[in-house]
Amino acid sequence: MFEILKGICLLISSILIGGVNPFVVDETLNYSASFSGVKAGTGSLKVINEYEDSFHIQFRAKTNKLTSYIFPINDIIDIWIDKEKLTPILIKENINEGNYKRKNTIKFFQNKGKAIINNRDTISFNSNVHSPYSLFYFFRKFDIMNYNDKTINLFQKKNVNPIKINVENRVTVITNIGEHICTRVSPVRPDRKQFKNKSSISIWFTEDSKKYPVQIWLKMKYGGLMLKLEETTN
């Protein structure tokens, strides 16, 4: 009887926290990248490992040979996210974009409302924060529609900012691996003002059990960057 009750409790708990994660270790999402319609390079998201309380995720972005002559990019970002909440625990950034270089280690203490950057700077926040990269997995597990018109906190560089989530479903996206019915997620500022450098972002998640982020659009002041899913493994 005890084992039955234990099983029921675990089932209820999994429902309350969002159910089973739709991704596994070694899942790799490979993207083509284009800037204002011109092929510029590649990107990838990979689940590196699974631990008792976290997942290790890695994002890579690299320009192709031609684009590298103009503006080379070779970014590697490792992020460890909480296994249940899918919020960041640790981020290690290795950013190489043209002459701009940045290496950061950010440790998150979500229950204490703070993040520590390079063991020096402390950033405080009032509630759980996300990173742009953890959102790719957060919205794969949890019901996206529940976050329509809701506000969450987003950590970027050395700031924590509130963003409002706009959601649109039943959107068709065509990539090299097929036609997809998707839900589009577009973060905006609650005050409706523009982000820095007039940037904006939209992410399209497939409306199936995997909820792949098949398309990512980043609009910037001088053009737009489009990432389209080209291949999935595992």
Question: Residue 12: its pLDDT value, please?
Answer: 35
pLDDT tens-place values along the chain, 234 residues long: 333 333 333 333 333 345 678 899 999 999 999 987 889 999 999 999 999 999 999 999 999 999 999 889 999 999 999 999 999 999 999 999 888 899 999 999 999 999 999 999 999 988 889 998 899 999 999 999 999 999 999 998 788 888 999 999 999 999 988 999 999 999 887 866 655 544 578 999 999 999 999 999 887 655 678 999 999 997
SS3 133: helix
Nearest CA to 110 out of 132, 140, 85 is that of 85
Bridge pairing between strands 151-156 and 129-130: parallel
- Cβ neighbour number for residue 77 with a 10 Å cutoff: 19
User: Residue 125 domain-assigned?
Assistant: yes
For residue 88, give its domain range: 21-233
Question: Residue 51: its pLDDT value, please?
Answer: 95
Question: Residue 220: its pLDDT value, please?
Answer: 63
The C-alpha atoms of residue 71 and residue 66 are separated, in whole angstroms, by: 9
Backbone phi, then psi, for 3, in 5-degree steps? -65, -35
Question: Residue 161: its pLDDT value, please?
Answer: 86
User: Residue 200 domain-assigned?
Assistant: yes
User: Residue 175 domain-assigned?
Assistant: yes
Structure tokens at 70: 């103009």
SS3 128: coil
User: Residue 42 domain-assigned?
Assistant: yes
Based on the structure, what is the number of domains in the chain?
Answer: 1
User: Residue 14 domain-assigned?
Assistant: no
DSSP, res 110: G
Question: Residue 113: its pLDDT value, please?
Answer: 92
CATH assignment of the domain containing 154: 2.50.20
User: Residue 171 domain-assigned?
Assistant: yes
Contact 41, 62 (CB under 8 A): yes
User: Residue 16 domain-assigned?
Assistant: no
Bridge pairing between strands 223-233 and 213-220: antiparallel
Query: Could you tell me which residues come within 8 angstroms of residue 61 by beta carbon, excluding any fewer than 6 positions away?
Result: 33, 41, 42, 43, 73, 74, 75
Question: Residue 15: its pLDDT value, please?
Answer: 36
Torsion sign, CA atoms 227, 217, 85, 7: negative
Supply the pTM of this predicted model: 0.85
User: Residue 11 domain-assigned?
Assistant: no
